[in-house]
Each structure stands twice: as C-alpha cells, then as structure tokens.
Amino acid sequence: MTATGSPLPLLVLGQGTDLHTERGVECPGDLPAPSDPALVERARAAKAALGDRVFVLGHHYQRDEVIEFADVTGDSFKLAKEAAARPDAPWIVFCGVHFMAESADILTSDEQTVILPDLAAGCSMADMAAINQVEDAWDDLVEAGVAQETVPVTYMNSSAAIKAFTGRHGGTICTSSNARTALSWAFEQGSKVLFLPDQHLGRNTYVRELGGSLEDCVVFDPHRPMGGLSVEELQAAKMILWRGHCSVHGRFTVDAVETARREIPGVKVIVHPECRYEVVELADEVGSTEKIIKTVAAAPAGTKWVVGTELNLVKRLGQQFPDQQVSFLEKNVCYCSTMNRIDLPHLVWALESLVEGRVVNPIRVDEQVARYARAALDQMLALPGESHKD
C-alpha cells in the first residue's frame, strides 16, 4: 500500500522496459564517464586483449550492461565454484558483492587474484553481523550454558570473518539453495542452531521445510544485552536467529501479494526465502535465484508470474520469457543498491587496468581467517546429498 493507503499498481515487465537510469559513481583513478558511447567497445577490446587470463563472473542481480560481459552467470555459490574451477585464470573479475568475492578468494589458489570492480559493492545484510558482535553473542551463549549444544549455521551472505567463526565452532555455511540440508545436518550435531545473519531464511527453512515450530525460534538482537533474551529463553530455544535481514527482500509485503492476487487472476507468486515469513507463507513457490529462474523457464507459455526478488533479475526474466507475463511484486522496492554499484564504467576500469598491468581492487582474505572459513565452506560441500541444490 502507498502512504495514503491506496494499493500500488503492479509493474509488468517486458522487452524494452527501462526502469532505472540513476548512476552513483565514485571511484578513485580514471573511471570512464557513464555517458562514454565507446564503453561497450572498450569492454570488448579489453576482454579480448586479456583472453583466457581473465574470467568474469556475474551474479544474477547484476545490471544487464555488466551481465553482457560475464563469462558465467549464477548465484553466489555457483559463482564461487566456477571461480575455483578456473585455476588457469590469474584474474577473476567478480561482478557481485564483497562477500561473494571473498568466498571466491578463499576457494581459489594463491596465484589467482579476485577483483571487485567497485569496493563499495557490499551487502547490508552481511554488515548486520560484525565479528565482535558474533563473538560477544557466543560468550552470552556460553554464559547461558547453551554454547556446547549450539551449532552455528551461517548464510553465504556474511563476511569471511563470520565464516571463519563458523568453521572454528564446528558449523557450516549454507546458501538459500541448501539451507534445509544444512539445518538438518546441524540438528544431528547439536540440539540448537545459531543462524547467522538472515533471520528470515533461518525461520522460513526451520518452520516451513523442517516442520519446526515458530515457538522454538528466538531472535538475538546484537544491540541489546544478551541479545534481549533471558537465560530461560535461550535454553528453551532451538533456533537462535540473528537479527539480520536483506534490505531488499525484507521490504516485500503481504499487501503486495494480496494486491497481485486481486489484480491478476490466476497469478503465481514466487519469492526468495529472504522474504518475511508471512510473505513466504502466501506465495505459491519459494526459492533461491537459481530456482526462480528454472521455475519460470519451465512454466508453460501464458503463465502469469509475480516475482519477489531483486529487480534486475525480474526485469531480465520478463525479457527472456516474453511469452509469459512477469511482474515485479512491489513497485516501491528498488534494485539492490550495492549490487548496482558495479556498472560498465567500473568494469571497463578494472579490465583496462589489467591490460595496463595494474590490478585494481584486489580482494584478499587474511590467511588465518581463510583457513577456518574454508573449513566451514568445505563442510557445506560435504553435506549429505549434494553441495548445491535449487
């Protein structure tokens, strides 16, 4: 609903839709102007000059202008695996956000360098769990006498330091694709899980996929003493959810789903599990970015979709499947602003710098941190079944 209470019109996406022209570029050095008409040509020329020495990865939420130059596209986990599978490329240019580039650095060899074209491409969710806060929270769990039985399960959307914490405490990383498998594994190791940093993915997976109860879940607020919880609450809880969320997916509302159902008869609502529990409960389908793409791709012509995930991806779905009707779930939700930091000028700058023999914006995880973070990532790869499902 709008501030005045009237329902928001749905945004139907299709070929030629141009929704956003805003640019916020700030970068040291000789960044090309966004208006430079030669940018596409310059990116092509730089890539051609670098040949197999560079490998460009593009996350599904990236702009079209960037995706055009990606050697492979995917979700965060697929891209990390792709980076690891390219040992011959000395330079991996990661068009995504900081935590993804860190994971790629952890999983690639010392001879390879991962480059993030704009260092301002962070993730607000990952920033909601700082390592000192998480260490303090663990001390609280020790004090409450529950740390021994608690297994940390950390979403990929987290800093390398939090991944290392997870590795040190015998936990695992998960993605939105394999959170169910990761949680099942964790509950075989201990009776409680500390889920970091996305409360929604943790809650949705525990309640909807493992059949757990909402009453077993507590939210640990790092800004309050003892997370704002009593010792009794910590002792009774099975899922201790970190108070973090995605600033994009957390904004989709029940109202938007109800409006879609009212305005588009027969519509199918598909959302990412980072959305709030109430929103996910009302959806027809829930899934990671890879699953959303595959589900829409497999649907018969004429299917009407309303999609609750990042706008660049939804916009592309509308372009790729013009025989289906793809709409964005909520008009007042914008692009992920940090994903959008990577634009063609930054990509050209990173590539042309490499051509000139300069490595800009390398992402290097400290070796001690990387060692334990790798343990947590390896635990994810060793989860029963397979390492990565949609």
Which residues form the interface with ligand SF4 (CB under 6 A)?
Answer: 97, 123-125, 157, 246-249, 310, 336, 338-339
Nearer to ligand SF4, 125 or 293 (CB): 125
Nearer to ligand SF4, 86 or 272 (CB): 272
The answer to whether the peptide bond before residue 197 is cis (omega within 30 degrees of 0) is: yes
**Of ligand 13P, ligand SF4, none, which one does residue 312 interact with (CB within 5 to 8 Å by kind)?**
none
**Of ligand SF4, ligand 13P, none, which one does residue 288 interact with (CB within 5 to 8 Å by kind)?**
ligand 13P
Please, is 357 exposed, middle or buried when counting C-beta atoms within 10 Å of its C-beta (0-12, 13-18, 19+)?
exposed
**Of ligand 13P, ligand SF4, none, which one does residue 163 interact with (CB within 5 to 8 Å by kind)?**
none
**Of ligand 13P, ligand SF4, none, which one does residue 338 interact with (CB within 5 to 8 Å by kind)?**
ligand SF4
**Of ligand SF4, ligand 13P, none, which one does residue 101 interact with (CB within 5 to 8 Å by kind)?**
none
Nearer to ligand SF4, 89 or 160 (CB): 160
Q: Smallest gap, in angstroms, from Cβ of residue 287 to ligand 13P?
A: 9
Q: Smallest gap, in angstroms, from Cβ of residue 175 to ligand 13P?
A: 5
**Of ligand SF4, ligand 13P, none, which one does residue 62 interact with (CB within 5 to 8 Å by kind)?**
none
- Distance set, CA 154 to CA 71, 201, 204, 255, 361 (Å): 28, 10, 15, 30, 26
Q: Which positions touch ligand 13P (CB under 6 A)?
A: 75-76, 156-157, 175-176, 246, 249, 274, 288-289
From edge to edge, which strands make up the β-sheet containing 113-115? 72-74, 54-59, 91-95, 113-115, 362-363
Nearer to ligand 13P, 112 or 288 (CB): 288
**Of ligand SF4, ligand 13P, none, which one does residue 76 interact with (CB within 5 to 8 Å by kind)?**
ligand 13P
Nearer to ligand SF4, 140 or 310 (CB): 310
Please check whether residue 118 is in contact with residue 27, taking contact to mean a CB–CB distance below 8 angstroms.
yes
Q: Smallest gap, in angstroms, from Cβ of residue 92 to ligand 13P?
A: 17
Report the C-alpha gap between 114 and 372 in whole angstroms.
19
**Of ligand 13P, ligand SF4, none, which one does residue 247 interact with (CB within 5 to 8 Å by kind)?**
ligand SF4
Q: Smallest gap, in angstroms, from Cβ of residue 247 to ligand SF4?
A: 5
Q: Smallest gap, in angstroms, from Cβ of residue 337 to ligand 13P?
A: 12
Nearer to ligand SF4, 187 or 252 (CB): 252
Nearest-CB residue for ligand 13P: 75
Nearer to ligand 13P, 118 or 274 (CB): 274
- Tell me the three-class secondary structure of the chain, residue by residue: CCCCCCCCCCEEECCCCCCCCCCCCCCCCCCCCCCCCCHHHHHHHHHHHHHHHEEEEEECCCCHHHHCCCCEEECHHHHHHHHHCCCCCCEEEEECCHHHHHHHHHHCCCCCEEECCCCCCCCHHHHCCCHHHHHHHHHHHHHCCCHHHEEEEEECCCCHHHHHHHHHCCCEEECCCCHHHHHHHHHHHCCEEEEECCHHHHHHHHHHHCCCCHHHEEEECCCCHHHHCCHHHHHHCCEEEECCCCCCHHHCCHHHHHHHHHHCCCCEEEECCCCCHHHHHHCCEECCHHHHHHHHHHCCCCCEEEEECCHHHHHHHHHHCCCCEEEECCCCCCCCCCHHHCCHHHHHHHHHHHHCCCCCCEECCCHHHHHHHHHHHHHHHCCCCCCCCC
**Of ligand SF4, ligand 13P, none, which one does residue 124 interact with (CB within 5 to 8 Å by kind)?**
ligand SF4
Nearer to ligand SF4, 159 or 338 (CB): 338
Q: Smallest gap, in angstroms, from Cβ of residue 87 to ligand 13P?
A: 23
Nearer to ligand SF4, 229 or 286 (CB): 286
Q: Smallest gap, in angstroms, from Cβ of residue 313 to ligand SF4?
A: 10
Q: Smallest gap, in angstroms, from Cβ of residue 99 to ligand 13P?
A: 8
